[in-house]
Amino acid sequence: MSMPPATREGWKRIEAWLRDYRRRYSPAAWIHQRTGFDTGYYLLSVFLGLHLSIFLVACFRYTPGVHWWLWPTCATLASLYVVDAVLANTSFAFFKGAPQSALRAVLLAFVAFWNVALAFAVFYVLAIEQPLTYGQALYFSIATVTTIGDSTVHASGMARVLVATQMITSLYFVVVLLSIFVSWVEDD
């Protein structure tokens, strides 16, 4: 059964937008166009920024006068990164051929995946009712990604939605990356 032409064209537009997103609209592309820095610098700055966000939110969660601007700022930055990571890694699935450096691409993919775990650690500090330290939030996020779980932290309410979202996002991320790596092997 074939797809109607209008539907096929709609999907082709979405694929074209995803390719354009990675090349033109993503924060990594924007930084590269203006400064000449490549994706590695963007991922490193996100890595440092998310670690700082986890630390600040964990330390100042109950400090009066700080949480009204700190929470939304850190949560917005973490959310934007997760959306960017999903869109950018989805767009990679539409590029054919191997990268210039497969090792570099694998390392950057690992850093991007790690950054998604860091972004969710920011969310967990904000959403889980029991106070989490920097290390506890990071461990809970990693335990969620690896599906091990953490019996010392009990997610309820919105935190359960975050756990499910992280698991789905991480699974999607791994599937897309594996499909890309397999396509590289097939191209050789």
pLDDT band at 183 (very low <50, low <70, confident <90, very high): confident
The pLDDT of residue 161 is: 93
Residue 185, pLDDT > 80, answer no
The pLDDT of residue 97 is: 61
Place of tokens 């890309």: 180
Query: pLDDT tens for residues 30-86?
Result: 888 889 888 889 999 999 999 999 999 998 888 888 777 888 899 999 999 999 999
Number of residues written out for the chain: 188
The pLDDT of residue 69 is: 85
Span 152-175, average pLDDT: 89
Q: Which residue has the higher pLDDT, 6 or 49?
A: 49
Query: pLDDT tens for residues 115-150?
Result: 999 999 999 998 888 889 999 999 999 999 988 887
The pLDDT of residue 74 is: 92
Q: Is the distance from CB of 130 to CB of 151 less than 8 angstroms?
A: no
3-state DSSP percent of the chain in helix, strand and coil, to 5:
75, 0, 25
- DSSP classification of residue 21: I
Query: CA 44 → CA 28, 108, 117, 144, 160, distances in Å?
Result: 11, 9, 14, 23, 29
The pLDDT of residue 96 is: 63
CA 45 to chain centre: 14
Helix (H) or strand (E) holding 64: none
The encoded tokens of residue 64 equal 């009066």
The span from the CA of 23 to the CA of 29, in Å, is 6
Helix orientation angle between 67-92 and 39-59, rounded to the nearest 10 degrees? 150
Q: How would you class 134 by CB atoms within 10 Å of its CB: exposed for 0-12, middle for 13-18, buried for 19 or more?
A: middle
Span 9-24, average pLDDT: 86
Helix count and strand count (H, E) for the chain: 7, 0
The pLDDT of residue 98 is: 64
The encoded tokens of residue 132 equal 């989490």
Give the end-to-end CA distance of the chain in Å, rounded to a whole number.
32
Q: What is the pTM of this model?
A: 0.87
The pLDDT of residue 53 is: 94
Mean residue pLDDT across the chain = 86
- DSSP classification of residue 154: -
